[in-house]
A and B are shown apart, each in its own frame.
Chain A
């Protein structure tokens, strides 16, 4: 498994099972997803009505950036009033499902992408903003562009974890996505650095059309004037900057790009952990090899000093 899935496997498998005509049963499960997202799957009224609620830490910010519109576009008729303690709810009635299989599969797919879709709003807004600016900027030459066009839009911040955030900024020729990352563990920080170096180098070496990646410990210039930033003087905080070029922002590519970039942090941490597991497995092999060598080196009949209970020893008289 190289890439992480975007959808929640549990919701997917549960709905697939229910939609396939299995006899309805009552469900009541609270499950987690990455980044402190919590889902609540339940059947409060009757066994055929499945209520799926989601709780996202930064939902207020997301609404500010237009999450409601995106969610309404995706889930339109299924939206119900949010369950108390959760931010957003949809209800699916098993008795009024779409008739054909493709539509059903599509509904399953969309529902299992609930987290992805709720986090997608700021990205979509930034991409739209970029389109506008690009059009506007095409009217001017580089020098004559008025201040507003050159500068780019405001920075959108999503505090999706306690200490980490995503910042998105659009301008006329690119969209910049900045992740602030934090590492508590010394080892992880080093692993992280190696990985990020690979990201930075990838473009230079093989993959020419990859987005540009920058990694540094101080807040990048784009974030000037954003409050509440750690200066990263203790080395725990790092800033990863992705520069998305027009190539990544075409309407065809856009959804894919959003999915990819959202899972970046989890992908990153997953691979740090996977490489630790890999190194551990090599360490175990090496230990086993060394033990084998040691066992071979043991002399066959070792002459041991024999003692009586009182501590006297016998010596063979030569």
Chain B
């Protein structure tokens, strides 16, 4: 091939899919991982009651000439193409006749039929590429069963004949994305990823590019909970507009992380200009003003003091991160403390990284002092705790994929169509570690 086509990076998350070309600094398309199909609301699966997709009419040579009518003939057997994805799917499902489905649940693909069609549409309609000419970089959540990888490979190679495929773990890509930060001196793939999206927050330790699966912890507090919390605060005050949408806007525009909750309350009382007003313009042109007060710093605070929001989950995020590191093998702990990487939309609050770093450092220092005291005179060399924030946090895994996908050696790490034909789907159970030691 004369000029190399850019690799395609697709990150299909539970909520949103990020699609684009390697080498760019932002995904070309970000839309909900949703597909709207004709008939049947999400349930046992699309199609009519029999649980089988609607069978296309008989092939033409049987009905041909029997005068089935031009209009009917034109539509013959194309029911399976009557669907839409992304924002269009959401719009279509609002109208009659279409049901909406979310093929990805908890990061893993649940419905392969829908996923296959979702991919087909993303490739041909949005990215507009011939998959035979391009290499693909897909992502998977940590602890994805190998069978899912095989299914993915089957679809990618057999349906789309894509030239080559690499499946990377999202957490590892998020680590790679942090290389753009000025704070990162050495490009190591050891670190701990704090990935907070809309539904759930994960703390994932990664050593030399391999996820330490046994120590992963999830926290049931994430973006959606913050929105609910803001909403409940607005409701308690009796604001004019306390819809979920308004709460989300308030969360995204005004919230930040404060160093100390009590002092921040006092500061708000001293400086009344910290109270803001948010104007909501309804589609019909009327606008309402909503006061924005303590929720500015209280909302992200539920990560650090979950007791103000939840009654069943009470461990603060810094403690969870510290606990995860303590559970990991002893020889990687120093590396993990040194490289705590944030990823996902709910880590974008101002000073989120600084607060996390401070709290973890407090925990670590307290433990060091205690053990120094117990040992009777031994001195600890100290432990370096560093939380890395960078500009690409929002689409961290996608950006990491874009970064690695443009490297010249990327193609040699992929499995190609020829290799797949030779060995079969089991080939994708193993991938050489992209961006690991040995590569630049």
Contacts and interface: CB of A to CB of B under 8 A. Distances in A.
Interface residues of A, number: 41
A205 B65 contact: yes
Contact of A31 (B3, B28, B74): B28
B423 interface: no
Given A30-B23, A185-B161, A278 B133 contact: no
Interface stretch (A32-40, A149-157, A301-309): A32-40
Given A28-B25, A285-B52, A280 B129 contact: no
B131 to A, nearest CB: 8
Contacts of B70: 206-207
B26 interface: yes
A29 B159 CA distance: 28
A32 B6 contact: yes
A277 B130 contact: no
Interface stretch (A15-23, A216-224, A234-242, A266-274): A266-274
A30 B124 contact: no
Contacts of A28: 24-25
Given A34-B130, A36-B133, A205-B60, A285 B51 contact: yes
B33 to A, nearest CB: 17
Interface in A24-81: 28-36, 38
A281 interface: yes
20 contacts: A10-B29, A29-B26, A29-B28, A30-B6, A31-B20, A32-B21, A36-B3, A201-B60, A201-B64, A206-B70, A206-B73, A273-B159, A277-B80, A278-B56, A280-B158, A281-B53, A284-B113, A285-B51, A288-B51, A289-B52
B379 to A, nearest CB: 51
A175 to B, nearest CB: 25
B265 interface: no
Nearest to B69: A206
A138 B24 CA distance: 56
B126 A9 contact: yes
A29 B60 CA distance: 45
Contact of A281 (B2, B25, B113, B131): B113
B160 interface: yes
Interface in B176-198: none
Contacts of B133: 36
Interface stretch (B114-122, B208-216, B332-340, B356-364): B114-122
A106 B412 CA distance: 44
B125 A5 contact: yes
Interface of A: 1-2, 4-5, 8-10, 28-36, 38, 162, 184-185, 188, 198, 201, 205-207, 266, 269-270, 273-274, 276-278, 280-282, 284-285, 288-289
B25 A276 contact: no
B234 to A, nearest CB: 27
A289 B53 CA distance: 13
Interface string B69-86: 010011000101101100
A42 B2 CA distance: 24
Interface in B342-384: none
Interface string B109-150: 000110011001100111111111110000000000000000
Contact of A205 (B28, B64, B116, B120): B64
Main secondary structure of the interface of A (DSSP, over half): helix
Given A4-B125, A207-B74, A289-B52, 19 more contacts: A10-B28, A10-B29, A29-B24, A31-B24, A32-B5, A32-B134, A33-B128, A34-B130, A205-B65, A269-B130, A273-B124, A274-B120, A276-B159, A280-B155, A281-B53, A281-B113, A282-B52, A284-B112, A285-B51
Q: Size band of the B side of the interface?
A: 35 or more
Interface in B5-61: 5-6, 20-21, 23-26, 28-29, 51-53, 56, 60
Contact of A1 (B3, B53, B121, B155): B121
| Residue of B23, B26, B51, B52 with most partner-chain A CB within 10 A | B52
Nearest to A33: B128
B1 interface: yes
A278 B117 CA distance: 9
A43 to B, nearest CB: 13
Given A32-B134, A188-B161, A280-B116, A9 B65 contact: no
B408 to A, nearest CB: 16
Nearest to A35: B130
